[in-house]
Amino acid sequence: MSKRVTLIRGDGIGPEIMEATLRVIGALDVDIEWDEQQAGAGAFEKLGTPLPEETLASIAETGVALKGPLETPIGAGFRSVNVAIRKHFDLYGNVRPSRAIPGVNTRFSDLDLDLVVIRENTEGAYIGIEHTIPPNRSAAESIILVTRHGSERICKFAFEYARRHNRDKVTLIHKANILKETSGLFLEVGRQVANRYDDIEYDEVIVDAMCMKLVTNPEQYDVIVSTNLFGDILSDLTSGLVGGLGVTPGANIGENCAMFEAVHGTAPDIAGQGKANPTAIMMAAVMMLEHLDYDAEAQRMREATHKVVGRGEEVTGDLGGSASTEEFTDAVLRELGA
Ligand code: NAD
């Protein structure tokens, strides 16, 4: 039976990298029915809203979305279309794998890294409740919200993710020595959840020490789980270990919905020129295929893409090559034997 997925091509380079991805998925042995919807600046121009009701209704129905980068039009009423989608569907888990691509030269190339940062996406320091205090903005205050429910579901998600992806260890990152109540509650709940997973190793590291350890001995980590702010910072750090944001995918997961995307933005400086690198969105599609239980085909797509990127001959300008988006995609399709 075919699986329905909401497709949002997005703004800027979105349509180009999404077309490339659809060509590659089209060469796999998967049965996906795309429900194409609009969002972002393009939707705003055509339909007067950056996030049409039809788009939300489609994601609610399919439960899975592959989304290109979106430009949030200025003056459209909310901060970011991406944030609005995350809020609407309560996508509480942000998943950012950082996997070394053989052949891509980084400072850590010899380590064959394969880390995943799982970040709580709905609370913590990013709830946006802050204010300044008069006179003359002499001080500013912000609220960090950590709930037992929010901590429980993200920690449980991290352990379930580890099980589902045959990973051995979950490391919880906190700052409970200073933030005794907020980070303390997260740690307390994390320990309780860890006790329920005897098959997965568990450890905990204070966030500042973790930054040091990640740039000295990153190979000792596997799945990393943390609150919103720490997870945000750590996931950029781990992206940097394996080649940067250009090759990094991300997923936002809720109880009933999952949205897969590249971490980068719309790249307006190169949009429409056929120069964009589709690797990150292709890796997001790989995550989506795994989510849909197409594990073997996901693996084929990852290996084919990694081979082309690692060889370095048919890659786009951002990776030091001169290939167009289309030439890169042709090379991936050749790797797949298509
Ligand atoms: P950006 O990621 O779009 O671009 C930063 C730089 O990286 C640019 O030089 C760009 O050319 C390059 N780049 C990014 N992706 C690339 C790719 N796939 N191939 C080759 N080069 C690539 O970041 P920005 O300029 O800060 O943001 C531009 C727009 O994107 C803004 O409107 C922002 O709001 C939006 N944005 C959206 C998302 C999202 O939808 N998830 C994420 C970040 C930014």
Q: What is the ipTM of this complex?
A: 0.98
218 and 170, same structural domain?
Answer: yes
- Tens place of pLDDT for every residue, the chain, 338 residues? 899 999 999 999 999 999 999 999 999 999 999 999 999 999 999 999 999 999 999 999 999 999 999 998 776 566 789 889 999 999 999 999 999 998 888 899 889 999 999 999 999 999 889 999 999 999 999 999 999 999 999 999 999 999 999 999 999 999 999 999 999 999 999 999 999 999 999 999 999 999 999 999 999 999 999 999 999 999 999 999 998 878 899 999 999 999 999 999 999 999 999 999 999 999 999 999 999 999 999 999 999 999 999 999 999 999 889 999 999 999 999 999 98
Q: Among residues 221, 247, 273, which one ends one of the domains?
A: 247
Same domain, 294 and 159: no
pLDDT of residue 83: 86
Q: Are residues 184 and 102 in the same domain?
A: yes
126 is catalytic: yes
Distance 318 CA to ligand 1 centre (A): 12
Burial 42-81 (b: 16+ CB within 10 A, else e): bbbeeeebbbbeebbebbeebbbbbbbbbbbbeebeeeeb
Q: With a 6 A CB cut-off, is 84 part of the ligand 1 pocket?
A: no
Catalytic residue among 31, 203, 208, 295: 208
Going by C-alpha positions, the residue among 4, 9, 16, 6 that lies closest to residue 279 is 16
The Å distance, Cα 184 to ligand 1 centre, comes to 35
Please tell me which residue in 92, 126, 161, 202 is annotated as part of the active site: 126
pLDDT given for residue 76 in this prediction: 58
Sheet holding 169-174, edge to edge: 32-37, 3-8, 64-67, 258-262, 249-253, 93-99, 114-120, 223-226, 169-174, 201-206
pLDDT at 128: 86
Cα dihedral 46, 52, 57, 58 in deg (nearest 10):
40
pLDDT of residue 78: 63
The ligand 1 atom at the shortest distance from the C-alpha of residue 69 is 40
Domain end residue (candidates: 196, 226, 247) = 247
Entry pTM: 0.94
Long-range contacts of 74-80 (CB under 8 A, 24+ apart): 76/44, 76/49, 76/50
Domain, as residue range, for 322: 1-91+254-338
**Number of domains making up the chain:** 2
> What pLDDT does 75 receive?
65
Among residues 247, 282, 315, the one where a domain terminates is: 247
What is the model's pLDDT at position 245? 78
The verdict on the CB of residue 6 being under 6 Å from ligand 1 is no
The tokens describing 98, both together, are 């950082």
Judgement on whether residues 313 and 234 belong to the same structural domain of the protein: no
Peptide bond into 135 cis (omega under 30): yes
Instruction: Verify that 285 and 298 share a domain, yes or no.
Output: yes
Q: Are residues 122 and 109 in the same domain?
A: yes
Q: Which helix (H) or strand (E) holds 259?
A: strand 258-262
- The reply to whether 315 and 299 lie within a common domain is yes
H or E element that contains 236: helix 228-242
Q: Residues 101, 79: one domain?
A: no
Residue 46 sits in a domain of what CATH number?
A: 3.40.718.10
Whether residues 118 and 211 share a domain: the answer is yes
C-alpha of residue 40 to centroid of ligand 1, in Å: 14
Distance of CA 267 from the midpoint of ligand 1 (Å)? 4
Q: Do 173 and 236 share a domain, yes or no? A: yes
